[in-house]
Amino acid sequence: MDRRGSVPRAGGHQALAWQVRPASPSAAVLVLHGGQVAGLRAPGPVNLPGLRMRGFTCAVERATAGAGVAVGTVRYRCRGWNGDRADAARDTLAALSDLAEELGPVPTVLIGHSMGGRAALRAAGHPCVTGVVALAPWCPEDEPCEHLADRRLLMLHGDRDRVTAPADTLLFAGRARAAGAQVAGYRVEGSGHTLLRRAGDWHRAAARLTAGLLGLDVLPAEVAAALALRSPLEGGLQLPLAAAGHR
């Protein structure tokens, strides 16, 4: 039976909150919302970045229903990344540690938007993580990628994003591929950073890609082909995301 709840940690912070928790999960998905460059205050009760991810969480729940997949969210202690503290990444690793302790080493996919995308990519070296779906991720030029060897990364970015640069995501995707990651990237034409334009396409793509990474669905042919490429120059990092009804 599914249940919803949180896993307490020492110090009182609960980094992991379940949305769907089967009795014997065989896989897991964690959803990570965005945040700020800096900010030590805790997210408030009305958390717009968190609300933005509900559509993704619901889409993933539908795509994985009946397959024994636990779906959870990462709770941040702070609104910001906060420089070398990398608070969102620390909280993600704490949530993954709790997940592994509770469920065992089940294959896990991280879905992260903006700062949450950066946190997902930073934490993807955890042994449970098999793949990341990064939505308009924040990818500074010095973001490490050596730990991503053998991970599958699916990067989606709107071409009208003025908050996190699509060009930075492309550069990171190329560096990660050169470091041994399997990488595919989508360009979401006509959409910006908030993911509101073409929201349905974002939701459907993230859910299908997540199911594909968990082996519950077939990955789109163009994604499978891109994941097989090894050089940043070979392409597959700016695939156009088709709109609903134009597949």
Spatial contact of 35 and 115, defined as CB atoms under 8 Å apart: yes
Helix ranges restricted to H, the chain: 48-52, 54-64, 87-103, 115-123, 166-178, 199-213, 221-227
Nearest residue to 109 via CA among 87, 89, 126: 126
**Per-residue confidence (pLDDT) for residue 13, from 0 to 100:** 85
Low-confidence ranges of the chain (pLDDT < 70): 1-11, 245-247
Q: How far is CA 17 from CA 9, 65, 66, in A?
A: 12, 18, 20
**Per-residue confidence (pLDDT) for residue 3, from 0 to 100:** 45
**Per-residue confidence (pLDDT) for residue 70, from 0 to 100:** 98
Strands of the 16-20 sheet, one edge to the other: 5-7, 16-20, 69-74, 27-32, 108-113, 129-135, 152-158, 182-188, 239-240
Measure CA 225 to chain center.
Answer: 21
Residue 17: strand pairing partners? 6, 73
**Per-residue confidence (pLDDT) for residue 7, from 0 to 100:** 47
pTM of the model: 0.94
What are φ and ψ of residue 151, in 5° steps? Answer: -85, 155
Give the number of other Cβ atoms within 10 Å of residue 17's Cβ: 17
| pLDDT tens digits, 26-49 | 999 999 999 999 999 999 888 889
